[in-house]
Amino acid sequence: MSLYPWKYTIKFINWNAEEFGLYGSDAHARLARSRGDSIMGVINGDMIATQTSSNAVEVYTSTRPGSRAIGDTFYTVNQRYGIGINVRRSTEAPSYSDHYSYWQQNYEAILGIEYDFCPYYHTTRDRITASTFDTIFFTKVVKAMVATLATLAQPDTQLSYIAQRTISNPQAQITASPNPFRAQTAIRLPLLTNYPVLVYNAGGKLVKSFIQPAANQIFWDGRDGEGKKIPGVYFLFLKAGEKYLSYKLTLVD
């Protein structure tokens, strides 16, 4: 999903110590709340690779309207894209998995968990080599989770349109060094002149534009048009007629 621009930030996070008391997710949820982070929602996948006959995943939303909306989106995308799992929505509010940490901090979240429960739950035999591990079912659940994320994060149509019209000529490529960069990067451009160079952030927002110099090289310190320097992934596009050259940059702090 990192290859595509989104209007909202998507993060994939793995938590430790869930079984001992939701320690990892609780720490992050508390930190996020203390910082005033805007989290639209959390999709928690816990035990999603066992099914026998029901082909079902249970989606717990509690009665929270925002969480129920995420669960409804999960249900809808499964139907829309023909993923083929049986989504069982529940307004119960279990407290035994990482989604609960976010409910506690008043964030929206859902729990997706297998309906036919793994017989090796919380044992050393709960492995991908176990006979009950179902890779097909697992893949379907992940597809539904990713489709839900993509729907809620909203692809940036303008930047996606640009990305679809890129030039694939290996002789006309953009390069940058260093990349990832911290203080500054030197962006080397092909021998094309008088075309704008556009820089978008990962959310699909245009943050910087340059006019290609005669020397075919641009130095960028990572600051946007307002002088702000925000670490993250950026997409650089060089307009060439009706096509674009593209390049991915990473700014670190």
CATH of the domain at 164: 2.60.40.3080
Q: What is the DSSP string of 171-200?
A: TS--EEESSSBSS-EEEE--S--S-EEEEE
Same domain, 143 and 193: no
Confidence of residue 154 (pLDDT cuts 50, 70, 90): confident
Q: What's the pLDDT score for residue 204? A: 79
Q: Which of 153, 179, 203 is the C-terminal boundary of a domain?
A: 153
Q: Is the predicted pLDDT of residue 171 greater than 80, yes or no?
A: no
> What residues make up the domain containing 168?
157-251
Average pLDDT, the chain: 89
Amino acid at 94: P
Q: What's the pLDDT score for residue 214? A: 66
Same domain, 146 and 41: yes
Is residue 169 in some structural domain? yes
Count of domains for the chain: 2
Is residue 10 in some structural domain? no
Same domain, 146 and 61: yes
Same domain, 142 and 166: no
Is residue 17 in some structural domain? no
Q: Which of 108, 133, 153 is the C-terminal boundary of a domain?
A: 153
Same domain, 132 and 81: yes
Is residue 235 in some structural domain? yes
Percent of the residues in the chain that have a pLDDT greater than 90, as a whole number: 60
Q: Residues 228-238: what's their mean pLDDT?
A: 90
> Model confidence over 43-64: pLDDT tens digits?
999 999 998 778 899 999 999 9
Measure the CA–CA gap between 205 and 234, rounded to whole angstroms: 10
Q: Is the predicted pLDDT of residue 162 greater than 90, yes or no?
A: no
- Give the closest residue to 1 by CA, choosing from 111, 180, 148: 148
Q: What's the pLDDT score for residue 112? A: 97
Confidence of residue 155 (pLDDT cuts 50, 70, 90): confident
Is residue 240 in some structural domain? yes
For residues 213, 218, 222, 226, the Cα torsion angle rounded to the nearest 10 degrees is -10
- Give the closest residue to 139 by CA, choosing from 1, 45, 75: 45
> Model confidence over 5-27: pLDDT tens digits?
778 889 999 999 998 999 999 99
Same domain, 161 and 111: no
Q: What's the pLDDT score for residue 161? A: 66
Confidence of residue 224 (pLDDT cuts 50, 70, 90): very high
Query: Between residues 144 and 211, which one has the greater pLDDT?
Result: 144
Q: Residues 109-124: what's their mean pLDDT?
A: 92
Please compute, for residue 202, the number of CA atoms within 13 A of its CA located in the half-sphere on the CB side: 15
Is residue 18 in some structural domain? no
Q: What's the pLDDT score for residue 88? A: 96
Is residue 16 in some structural domain? no
Same domain, 146 and 55: yes
Same domain, 113 and 33: yes
Same domain, 140 and 173: no
Q: What's the pLDDT score for residue 244? A: 81
> Model confidence over 58-82: pLDDT tens digits?
999 999 999 999 999 999 999 999 9
Same domain, 118 and 221: no
Is residue 145 in some structural domain? yes
The CATH number linked to 34 is 3.40.630.10
Place of tokens 């499964």: 78
Same domain, 27 and 141: yes
Q: Which of 126, 153, 180 is the C-terminal boundary of a domain?
A: 153
Same domain, 38 and 118: yes
